[in-house]
Structure 1
Amino acid sequence: MKAAYEHVDFGTSRSVRVFHRRLPRIPFEWHHHPEYELTLTMNSQGKRYIGDSITAYGADDLVLVPPNLPHTWASNRSIDAAHAQAAIVVWFDGAWVRRFADVCPEYGGLRNLLRRAACGLAFEEGAGAHMRAQSDRLLCADPRERLKAVIDTLDWLAAVPASPLASPSAFDARTGTPSGHESDQLNRVLAIIDTQFAHPLRMATLAKASGMSERSLTRQFTLHLGESVGRYIARVRIGHACRMLTDTSMPVSVVAARSGFANVSNFNRQFRATKGLTPAEYRQQFASEPHADASANATPALTERSPSLERKARG
């Protein structure tokens, strides 16, 4: 399933865009955009799709989505049926945050937050309730107060534990491009993996390309990426496979071969170990979700939604 492009309109003279969404249910709307998105989902439970990550979510779910990574939420019911489901969505430009951190070194932690969010972040329990407590400021009519609330929230989240969501190369737009924080030697290895994952990749070859010993390369991977070389390669391959499973109707055997797996049995075993589903079950998760319809969308209480997806819903 191809992700729809959403144009996020910030309006004039605005650094961030805040959207208060209230509706009977959250429909499946697979989309992407070039802005970062911080979303707090309230009084809702269902499934959260971030790249190739499919996870159940519940009350006060708080997630940071990086640019161009397809995503959506799809609710199955309200936690409190007497009230609407709601979300506070904050869109912001990564370059703007980096410039802000450069000018104000007190906010240097924001750079690390963006780096951590390269594959999406789900924040620990309690973080959503903390952001919900700031809702009056985030939804204030004064844009300057909203801006201050967003900066305070992001600065606080910079130190909050969170779990990464998508694989490094879950989709074409998220190919695991080196962040610029790693060494040139490690970046060379990452570039090789990201472009040649469909072929056999031997540790000796990667070490030679990096100019390091196999032991040093292993140590650098663990230090900078928090996992072994083999585990990183497997996640890149699984991410590519997930994209093919959702974007194409190719047989699973073809997906396995084009993702770098020697045989289907090994592919099925590694895929289930990583995603908790077989490749066929993973594909069905996307195929079984209903598309959004216009009746599911209520007018936002404080701001209007970006029109691109509204038009798609009515189409």
Structure 2
Amino acid sequence: MNTARTVRLSRRSVLLAGAGLGAGLVAGCQQAGPTASPPENVLQTKAPTSEVAPVVTGRNLSAGRYREVDIVIIRPEGVPPEPIPVCIALHGGLGGAKVFLDYGVPQVLTQIVKDGAQPFAIVAVEGGNWIGNKDDDPHRMLNEDLPGWLTYHDLASTPFSVVGFGEGGAAALNQGRSPGFQAVAAISPMLFASWDAAQRTNMFDNQARWERLEPLRHTMELGKTPIGLWCGTEDAARLDLTKQLAQKVKAVKTSFGPGGSDDAYFRAAIPDALKFVAGYL
């Protein structure tokens, strides 16, 4: 049985979105209708809800990032195709949303639900390094573009939680500063104790952007949300700062076991992180 469906974005849909119809309308479109057709026809290529596969991948036009981005929607197997809560999944580094498929997240999610958790979906989107620049704002994408995409795919438009690793871990903590999140899980988050340390990475175009996005500078805001933190004991660059953050935000769950900042550790930690957020449904 084919459990994945790939959705493509048409050139006409991009033009329509640019004309102000909204990126949420074009999410998941496979083909365009005739030029004379009304805008509603853009939505007619969406599969009926009863045919939604457990894994859907596609490309959406993001106004926040000023480009097309990958989106991956993962639902638990065997769950009726109806609107369910959403956990956002944020990748690390310059990787992409599809890395969560490589990490076996569809199987992990299905097992968590089989073990008794309330069904929820995991939605991963491509955010670059989650820092961006003047023409690329990944957090604007999450806050302004993503709700429409979720609604289009018959999911709850307001995510209840967010999980991320590496740069995506820091981005998850930044999202957790917004009202409405019931839980945040960050694995090996990339943190910087000072502007000098951040500047040496050449990731930030200016100090103001680092100050706005550095979780260690916003611990009072983060302290209002249940937070789980994971980091490998061999991850020398991140372990101490993650422990400092855990203390400052009074993290409700921490895990500092063997491992480094690599795929093996991320793959091992993600199931525990997903179980953590599932406990807040």
Structure 1 length-normalised TM? 0.29
Greater C-alpha radius of gyration: 1
Greater fraction helix: 1
Higher relative contact order (CA 8 A, sep 6+): 1
Structure 2 length-normalised TM? 0.31
